[in-house]
Amino acid sequence: MSPNLKNLAMPQSKPPSDYEELIRTIHERYDHMSKSYQRIAVYLTQNPNDVAVHSVHAIAERCEVHASNVVRFAQALGYDGFKTLQGLFQKRLSTAAPGFEARVKALESELGARKDRSEGGFLRDLIVRDIASLQNLLVEVSEADLKKAVTLLEKAEVIYLLGQLRSSPVADLLRYILTMLGKRCVLLDPSGGLATHMAREIRKTDLLFAISFRFYATEVVNIVNEAASRKVPIVAISDSTLSPVAKAASVLLAVPEHEYTFSRSLAAPMCLAQALTVALAARLQRNSVNPRIPTVTEQ
């Protein structure tokens, strides 16, 4: 048996019988999978609608693995091949909302597909993908998770904000809005190498708000895990329920990312961060109709 198969070997005699059980099994086994299997697992959990309709070769290409790896992944879970595993996704698709690629195609039909390589063409491509990502938020993020996250923000004595690399603009936006709303917050700035040391001051009555996407900053993951070990409440925005910050989070708001030819957009996570602060403002101001952020001159 190959190392990959050993990593995924199932203790039960039967493979997962439905989509929900399959996803639970993938989450349970993820930490013990090989790197190639982890790429497959992330793609399957982030793109269930696309898995239902694409060929094994197309899925393998998106995972940057050989098609045989995808077949062995399915076999290691107890299925006789990829088609059987795919059947669970196809059954789910009959009642699911459109996936990212379906939304992109619909928007291209509505707005017009790109026909040239001009500057305006690049703009059109990015706008179409951003709209599709924003539409996905309504499906991917639950009302219960939003409410729990806002409650934690409201109760926290101090909110510590953590985001590095391309996640840092989201943390900066949160610092601005939370400060203007009168919430005490601290940005765990990596400059000077002090973020880890500053994080040790977080108490159980505070909150750590972490933002992390592939490729996850090591310091961010370490700070989140250390804070979780001390029972610090954590709200996290990340790209996957298999993210390395997922298990430690009190609330995980997953924003699946899809490959861009140049970069991944922050439109969806920025929108999600703003939604949380608007909901928080509504509670703090006791104004669910028209909450607002005070301007600098009004402070």
CA distance 74 to 191: 44
- With CA atoms as reference, report the closest residue to 69 among 9, 2, 14: 2
Does one domain contain both 197 and 283?
yes
Per the structure, the count of domains in the chain is 3
Q: Which residue has the higher pLDDT, 281 or 192?
A: 281
pLDDT value of position 185: 97
Q: Which domain holds residue 218?
A: 143-298
Q: Which residues pair with 32 in a beta bridge?
A: none
Average pLDDT, the chain: 87
pLDDT digits (tens, 9 = 90+) for 91-128: 888 766 566 666 666 666 656 666 667 787 778 888 88
User: Residue 34 pLDDT more than 90?
Assistant: yes
Does one domain contain both 49 and 130?
no
pLDDT digits (tens, 9 = 90+) for 120-149: 777 888 888 888 888 888 888 999 999 999
Does one domain contain both 115 and 182?
no
Residue entry with tokens 């990015």: 126
For residues 33-61, give the mean pLDDT: 93
- Specify whether the backbone of 215 is left (phi greater than 0), alpha (psi in -120 to 50) or beta: beta
pLDDT digits (tens, 9 = 90+) for 73-88: 999 999 999 999 999 9
Does one domain contain both 89 and 104?
no
CA distance 186 to 164: 14
